[in-house]
């Protein structure tokens, strides 16, 4: 039997992002939603050509194939959530490391311009999805994807992400997605993770 995908541990305690993201939200989001994608994926790939493949390989092999949508969605959501947890940290926000800041200034003018573009992507995504800071060629961009979509299948390198599915904020903010997004950008965003992903 090939190895199953496992739910990676959260990089912090479930109350570490409070009050921007409550322990209640984080507990459901990680323990129910993220775990659900991993469990569903394991069921869907058991006994198929995808069993034992990495998430990245499954995502690449199933993207854009309507008959593989369920496998793609669960693999991509498993990947996106792990990337999201690392895109946040307690006492995040503030100023990015110099190497990232230079690229931000080249693309957005300044760090505040970058935050505004990310907030615009996050709040304008219609329905469920994700906002991303990506490297497109050598240029930083703020982009959005719907549902399980991710930049890996669009030829772009993700640096950080913000989950804008309602399950990411509804317990804490109800319909006020912008308040959640601005709180994340000001107090939780992990610029060190984004800089490390410049690679």
List contacts with Mn ion (CB under 5 A). Answer: 163, 165
Q: Please state the closest distance from residue 33 (CB atom) to Mn ion, in A.
A: 5
Nearer to Mn ion, 84 or 191 (CB): 84
Instruction: Say how far apart CA 184 and CA 190 lie, in whole Å.
Output: 9
Q: Which residue is nearest to Mn ion (CB)?
A: 163
Q: Please state the closest distance from residue 152 (CB atom) to Mn ion, in A.
A: 17
Paired residues of 145 in beta bridges: 130
Instruction: Say how far apart CA 86 and CA 57 lie, in whole Å.
Output: 21
User: Residue 143: in which H helix or E strand, if any?
Assistant: strand 139-146
Nearer to Mn ion, 111 or 184 (CB): 184
Q: Please state the closest distance from residue 130 (CB atom) to Mn ion, in A.
A: 9
Q: Please state the closest distance from residue 122 (CB atom) to Mn ion, in A.
A: 13
3-class SS at 199? Answer: coil
DSSP string, 72-106: HHHHHHHHHHHHHHHHB-TT--SPPPHHHHHHHHH
Nearer to Mn ion, 104 or 133 (CB): 133
Nearer to Mn ion, 69 or 128 (CB): 128
Q: What is the DSSP letter of 33?
A: I
């Amino acid at each position: 039997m090939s190895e199953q995908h496992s739910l990676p541990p959260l990089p912090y305690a479930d109350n570490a992002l409070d009050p921007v993201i409550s322990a209640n939200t984080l507990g459901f989001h990680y323990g129910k939603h993220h775990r659900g994608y991993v469990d569903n994926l394991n069921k869907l790939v058991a006994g198929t050509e995808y069993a034992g493949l990495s998430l990245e390989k499954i995502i690449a092999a199933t993207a854009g194939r309507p008959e593989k949508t369920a496998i793609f969605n669960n693999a991509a959501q498993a990947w996106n959530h792990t990337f999201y947890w690392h895109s946040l940290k307690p006492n995040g926000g503030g100023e990015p490391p110099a190497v990232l800041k230079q690229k931000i200034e080249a693309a957005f003018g300044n760090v505040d311009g970058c935050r505004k573009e990310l907030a615009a992507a996050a709040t304008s995504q219609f329905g469920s999805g994700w906002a991303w800071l990506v490297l497109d060629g050598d240029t930083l961009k703020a982009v959005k994807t719907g549902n399980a979509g991710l930049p890996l299948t669009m030829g772009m390198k993700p640096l950080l992400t913000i989950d804008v599915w309602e399950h990411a904020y509804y317990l804490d903010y109800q319909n006020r997605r912008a308040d959640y997004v601005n709180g994340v950008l000001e107090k939780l965003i992990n610029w060190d993770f984004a800089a490390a992903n410049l690679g």
